[in-house]
Structure 1
Amino acid sequence: MTTPAEPSRPRASAAVRRRRTLAVLVVVAVAAGLAWWLVGPTDDGSGPALQPSTSTSAAPATATPTAIVSPTSKPTAEPTSEPTSTAVATRGTGTLVTVPGEVSAPGSGPRTTVRVRVEQGVDVDPQDFARQVMATLNDPRSWGHGGRRTFARTDGAADVDVVLASPATSARMCLPLQTFGKLSCRSGKQAVLTSYRWIRGTPEFPELSVYRQYVVNHEVGHVLGHGHEQCPGPGRLAPVMQQQTKMVAPCRPNAWPFP
């Protein structure tokens, strides 16, 4: 006996197929947006690199010659302030400019010269940054403690270069270390500080001014030959060479080699 043929299924109309295709595309787009949100840059420097801005790409980092001038005021430390959530530009121009001026070494001991350079386009006053750097290094609790050394600022060749650069430029200068523009580093005789932390600070330090003293002493300490140290025990002051930007606990924050 002949079996009746199965009725054929009607094909979906063109309009129905278009609606199905559009629905699939919407689902894919939503999933992609969720994935970006989940794996985007993190504040501790452990995530992907900062997204580049649409501005012109940075030029090679080179210093611009500047004339020597005499400072008009003594170095002073920055007033105490809390860490901020201020937005930080991803990149500057890529050009490092030497902060003009010379400051004599105020203490006794071997003289160490320091040149301060700031990237153009970074939203920080260069002279103010230089004053904070030198006030920190010549504090009795810093590396000159007890006449071990004294620091003089120059705008010529120096023993130590302290550089403040944008996240994009500092990340490039720190290679092969991966800083993601959020961590500072030593590169040769350069203490490279990222503007991301200089402006924003870190939750590990309740006071921005203390964090700035720490990061200057820490990175210059590397240039002077000091390596990383570990927290000696719960509740104790962290060694200045501990990586306190990442984590202070179980120690307490400390900005100084000789507190």
Structure 2
Amino acid sequence: MRSGHDREMTAAGRGPRRFLGVVLLGAVALLLSGCITGVTITYVPAAHRSVAALPTPSPTPSAVAPSTTPKVVPITYPRAGRRTWTVASGHSRVAGSRGRLFRYRVAVEESISGITADQFARTVVKTLGGARGWTATGDVRLQRVAAGGPADFTIYLATPRTRDQLCGDEAVGHVDEYTSCRNGANVVVNVARWVHGVPRYGASPAVYREYVINHETGHALGHGHELCPGTGKKAPVMQQQTLGLHGCTANGWPMVKGKLLSGAPGQYDDPVPAP
């Protein structure tokens, strides 16, 4: 004869079996009736049930993006260079649609560091072919060419003493070393002005560089010096802005508001600063 404790244990032991039977019978009935399809039910005893914790993802270290800021290389040069040259390679498209075609080369003295002939040439081509440049007058077209071919003039970036040689000052015993010039087929940009500009110019170095390219090339295209047209007005590009503005404001372009800006022919008696 079983004790009350045995009956309690037996009843408790039947509990999971009865539950499993009910679940299985119910699932079969639902499957047969078409209400549940493709479902598998697995019974796991309570003693073996557990809640699995989702793994915590490890943090991914952030990648350090490389700097995209271009490194600025300073332009350095001696007072007197070796007078040997690197001519920019290749050629540009013809800038302008009408007028006489002028071809030019671009060369950088090999003693100058921090700027290559091709880099200088890109600035020259962009300036001379700009919408406010000489080709916008409709009178001329311009094209940069490589070494070896025919050219009307060469634009040099030269050290101060080499500037004196190319500009003809050295031959007459004169020392300038400060300004840029045009002498025959030589269009000479003094690297000292390219790097340092001029005092009291009142504009960015980029504007001065546009001015010096357009001014000296303007001489090669047949233009002479001009005077300031009035206090507060823009200086004509053929004014000697390197030596003084005389009440005008700095300007690097021949064309202003779609028109060629000109002043009266002439030049001021400004002294050339010491180099």
> Which TM-score applies when normalising by structure 1?
0.63
Assess if the C-alpha contact under 8 Å between 1:88 and 1:199 holds in 2: no
- CA offset at residue 146 of structure 1? 4.2
1:228 and 1:241 in contact (8 A); partners too: yes
Q: Higher relative contact order by CA 8 Å / sep ≥ 6: 1 or 2?
A: 1
Mapping for residues 3-18 of structure 1, pairs under 5 Å: none
The structure-2 alpha-carbon separation of the partners of 1:218 and 1:146, relative to structure 1 and needing over 3 Å to count, comes to: closer
Answer yes or no: is 1:219 the counterpart of 2:216: yes
Quote the residue 1:104 is aligned against.
93
Rounded Cα–Cα distance in structure 1 between residues aligned with 2:152 and 2:138: 18
Asked whether 1:93 is paired with 2:90, we answer: no
Q: CA RMSD in A?
A: 1.9
Secondary structure, counterpart of 2:182 in structure 1: strand
Kindly indicate whether the alpha-carbon contact (under 8 Å) linking 2:202 and 2:249 is maintained by their aligned counterparts in 1: no
Contact 1:86/1:200 (8 A) holds in 2: no
Aligned residue-pair number = 175
Corresponding position of 2:117 = 126
Change (3 A) 1:140 1:86: closer
1:124-203 alignment, distance < 5 Å = 124-155=115-146, 156-176=149-169, 178=174, 180-203=176-199
| C-alpha distance in structure 1 between counterparts of 2:118 and 2:87, whole Å | 10
Query: Structure 1: how far apart are the matches of 2:123 and 2:217?
Result: 14
Percent of aligned pairs sharing the same letter = 39
99-108 or 191-200: which moved more?
99-108
CA distance, structure 2, for counterparts of residue 195 and residue 146 of structure 1? 28
Q: Does 1:209 align with 2:206?
A: yes
Q: Distance in 2 between matches of 1:213 and 1:148?
A: 20
| Contact kept in structure 2, 1:163 and 1:192, CA below 8 Å | yes
Would you identify which runs of 4 or more consecutive aligned residues in structure 1 move more than 3 Å? 85-88, 176-179
Evaluate the alpha carbon distance shift between residue 134 and residue 205 of structure 1 in structure 2; reply closer, same or farther with a 3 A threshold. farther
Counterpart contact for 2:95–2:135, Cα < 8 Å: no
TM-aligned CA deviation for residue 157 of structure 1: 2.4
* Alignment match, 2:237: 240
Q: Is the 8 A contact 2:78 2:112 kept in 1?
A: yes
Q: Name structure 2 gaps, 5 residues minimum.
A: 1-73, 257-275
2:211/2:237 contact within 8 Å kept = yes
Partners in 1 of 2:75 and 2:89 — Cα distance?
28
2:162 partner letter: T
Alpha carbons of structure 1 residues 167 and 153: separation in structure 2 relative to 1, 3 Å: same
Looking at structure 2, the residues matched to 179 and 139 of structure 1 have their Cα atoms a distance apart, in angstroms, of 34
Q: 1:89: Cα distance to partner?
A: 2.1
CA distance in 2, matches of 1:86, 1:117: 15
- When residues 125 and 86 of structure 1 are mapped into structure 2, their CA distance, relative to the original with a 3 A threshold, is closer
2:54 corresponds to:
none
TM-score by length of 2: 0.60
Q: Radius of gyration: which is bigger? A: 2
